[in-house]
Amino acid sequence: MNLTELNWIISLIIILISITNVHGHREKKSYEEECENEEEMVELCARDFLIYTNETMAETETEMDTFCRIYKDKERCLRDHSNKCLSHSANQAIMELIRTISNKNRAICSSKQRRNVQIRSNRCLNQQRSQKPNYCYNKFVQRIHGIHHNYHEFLTCFRNQLKTCAHDLINNLLRLIQNYSGETLNYVCREYKNSNKCQNIGLIKDDDDIINETRPQTFFSLLVKIYLS
């Protein structure tokens, strides 16, 4: 092989590497844009994946039947997006969250008795929300930085909001929230319940502490934000 041929081969290799890098950059950019374009659709999937929503919750047999029929499709939507758009470690965390929520949904949907209790619980919550819709959720979102303490503040607020409901319905809704939140969040925050540690963390003292980021529109989106924080 003479010098001219060697130089030609080297030049060809450099050109091929450059083309590959440009193509890879374009693929990555297109990939990121695709994930961003899916966000609105994913938010809708997140809304319909949970029984607990910031809107009117299913309070009739027909509405609950609809939820139980579609939640698996919404789960697939969230799984696909997570697999495609999140890093390996983030994807693992969100897959565990999705699995936890799906298990709770299945437990309710597969039992007529649980479904009936959930319908009654949802109906009572809908009635209580007529005065202050999403009051507890909004407070939780604003105080997300002190997550351990504020998670219990959220549960306490939620319980107080339901105080006119029957005791079994209150407990059912609290269990729903706790089951959706997952063992990780409940375990990590457990030691902060009724603890002096709460006096030193997460308390809002001025407007600088309130998050100015995009507000999570669903409880699932809020949990994702917490799990990935």
Is residue 34 pLDDT above 50, yes or no? yes
Domain presence at residue 12: no
Residue 5 lies in a domain: no
Q: Of the given ranges (7-16, 58-67, 85-94, 170-179), which has the lowest mean pLDDT? A: 7-16
Q: 69 pLDDT band (50/70/90 cuts)?
A: very high
Residue 18 falls within a domain, yes or no? no
Residue 157 lies in a domain: yes
pLDDT of residue 215: 73
pLDDT at 37: 87
User: What is the span of the domain harbouring residue 194?
Assistant: 53-227
**Residue 143 counted as domain residue:** yes
User: Would 33 be classed as within a structural domain?
Assistant: no
- Average pLDDT on 32-46 reads 88
Considering only CA atoms, which of 102, 119, 108, 105 is closest in space to residue 169? Answer: 119
Q: pTM (2 decimals)?
A: 0.75
State the average pLDDT over residues 4-12: 54
Q: Is residue 40 part of a domain?
A: no
| 78 is a domain residue | yes
DSSP the chain: --HHHHHHHHHHHHHHHHHHHHHHHHHHHHHHHHHHHTHHHHHHHHHHH-SS-SSPPP-SHHHHHHHHHHHHHHHHHHHHHHHHHS-HHHHHHHHHHHHHHHHHHHHHHT-HHHHHHHHHHHHHHHHHHTTSTTHHHHHHHHTGGGHHHHHHHHHHHHHHHTTTS-HHHHHHHHHHHHHHHHHHHHHHHHTTTT-GGGGTSS---SGGGS--SPPP-SHHHHHHHHHT-
Quote the pLDDT of residue 200: 40
- Output the average pLDDT for the chain: 78
Residue 172 has pLDDT above 90, yes or no: yes
Number of domains in the chain: 1
Residue 197 has pLDDT above 70, yes or no: no
